[in-house]
Amino acid sequence: MYSKISVVIPCYKEAAVIRDTLLTVHAFLKSRFERFEILVVTDGSPDETVSVVKDVQTNHPDIPIILFSFKKNHGKGAAVRKGILKSTYDPILFLDADLTISIEELESFLSALKNNVDIVIASRLLSGSHFEEPSPWHRILMARIFHLLQIFILGNFEFPDTQCGFKLFRRSAALNLFRKATIHRFAFDAEILFLARKNNYKITTLPVVIKRDPRNTNVRIIHDSLNMIFALFKIRLNQLLGRYRA
Ligand SMILES: Nc1nc2c(ncn2[C@@H]2O[C@H](COP(=O)(O)OP(=O)(O)O)[C@@H](O)[C@H]2O)c(=O)[nH]1
Ligand SMILES: [Mg+2]
């Protein structure tokens, strides 16, 4: 069983929640692992996210937090990629800063990451998944359309919920996939799973409980939807042009 782990948390406008998140994640990891690190990656957040994280670092020097803070905003995909490529341990988890999926779900994900399994992803659409608060209708619609487009553009039938922000990787798989990744914003999960299929990684999907979102989403309905559709074409084009070859 794993005794080490790297945890990547992409952060944008998370000043209201990031302190509690870091303390909660730390308490869980400390009880479960001999060694771990929490890589916080933030980029151009207009609020106090950076100073709150620095404050936690100062007041809790026992928490192994590594902060990457960029001036310019690049997107969630770029942030997760940065954290993963700078991480040390095996396996590697990334999760959302709002903890809408609890860090305690990690236990079942670790159990699933064995034998020949390389990647364990959460899916909100499995029968065992449960929403503490219903998703807004427009987010459900966005997710359904995004999945349909993934089928048409990428041939991705397998994963109806590519976008759930809780994914655990064997280190070798994460490094291989994120080194090849090109999508900086919200469609990056679609690219990672597309590449994972092409590289014949074994992927397991688990149900999760989705908690109430403690603050507003960063997803902008029109802007991010268009950006994500454009990204699917970019992924297909990259593949046709051979840009994903090792
Ligand atoms: N570094 C970084 N993190 C981001 C960015 N956009 C979103 N995130 C993070 O990605 C995660 C998911 O974002 P969230 O707003 O909760 O999206 P939702 O759960 O789909 O509504 C959170 O941890 C955000 O802080 C970004 O541009 N940069
Ligand atoms: Mg969220």
3-state SS record for 185-206: CCCHHHHHHHHHHHCCCCEEEE
Angle at 188 between CA 132 and CA 166, to 5 degrees: 35
pLDDT of residue 214: 84
The alpha carbon torsion through 170, 243, 156, 173 (nearest 10 deg) reads: 0
245 lies in a domain? no
Measured CA to CA, the distance from residue 232 to residue 146 in angstroms comes to 9
Strand partners, 70: 43
Residues of the chain predicted below pLDDT 50 = none
* pLDDT one-digit tens code per residue, 194-217: 999 999 999 999 999 999 998 889
94 lies in a domain? yes
Query: Which residues lie closer than 8 Å to 200 by C-beta, 6 or more apart?
Result: none
What domain range includes position 220? Answer: 4-240
157 lies in a domain? yes
pLDDT of residue 1: 82
**What total number of domains does the chain contain?**
1
Beta carbon of 41 within 6 Å of any ligand 1 atom: yes
Whether the Cβ atoms of residue 168 and residue 110 lie closer than 8 Å to each other = yes
Q: pTM for the complete prediction?
A: 0.98
* β pairing state of 119-123 and 166-169: antiparallel
pLDDT of residue 215: 84
Beta carbon of 196 within 6 Å of any ligand 1 atom: no
Name residues with Cβ closer than 5 Å to ligand 2, which is an ion. 96, 98, 100
pLDDT of residue 216: 85
pLDDT of residue 116: 93
The CATH number assigned to the domain holding 66 equals 3.90.550.10
246 lies in a domain? no
Beta carbon of 14 within 6 Å of any ligand 1 atom: yes
